[in-house]
Structure 1
Amino acid sequence: MARGYTLSRLKRADEHMWDAQPEGFSNTVRWNAGHIYESAEDFLSRAMNDYPVAKAEWAEFFSSGTSPSSWPGIPPAEEELIAALKDQGKRISQLTEEQLAYRLDPPLSIGKLITMETVDEVLQFLTWHEGMHAGLIDGLMKVNK
Structure 2
Amino acid sequence: MSELLFKQFALTRRNFLQEIEGLDPEQASFQPEGFNNNIHWNTGHVLTVTEQFMMGYPKKSNHLPENYIELFGKGTRPSDWTGNVPSVEELANQLKAQLERINEVPASMLDQKLKQPILGLETFGELANMALFHESYHLGQIHAMKKLVK
1:45–1:53 Cα contact (<8 Å) kept: no
**Corresponding residue number in structure 2 for 1:52:** 61
1:37–1:85 Cα contact (<8 Å) kept: yes
Mean alpha-carbon deviation: is it higher for 31-40 or for 92-101?
Answer: 92-101
2:43–2:88 Cα contact (<8 Å) kept: no
Query: Are 2:25 and 1:15 aligned?
Result: yes
Structural mapping, 1:94-105, within 5 Å? 94-105=104-115
Structure 1 regions of 5+ residues with no counterpart? 110-114
Structure 2 regions of 5+ residues with no counterpart? 1-10
Tell me the matched-pair count.
Answer: 138
- The TM-score with structure 1 as length reference comes to 0.88
1:18 shift after superposition = 0.7
Mean alpha-carbon deviation: is it higher for 64-73 or for 124-133?
Answer: 64-73
- The TM-score with structure 2 as length reference comes to 0.85
1:72 shift after superposition = 2.5
**Corresponding residue number in structure 2 for 1:69:** 79
**2-side partners of 1:69 and 1:104: how far apart?**
35
Q: Which runs of 4+ in 1 moved over 4 A?
A: none
**Corresponding residue number in structure 2 for 1:141:** 146
**2-side partners of 1:78 and 1:39: how far apart?**
16
Give me the CA root mean square deviation.
1.7
**Identity in percent:** 33
**2-side partners of 1:106 and 1:42: how far apart?**
15
Helix, strand or coil for the counterpart of 1:34?
Answer: helix
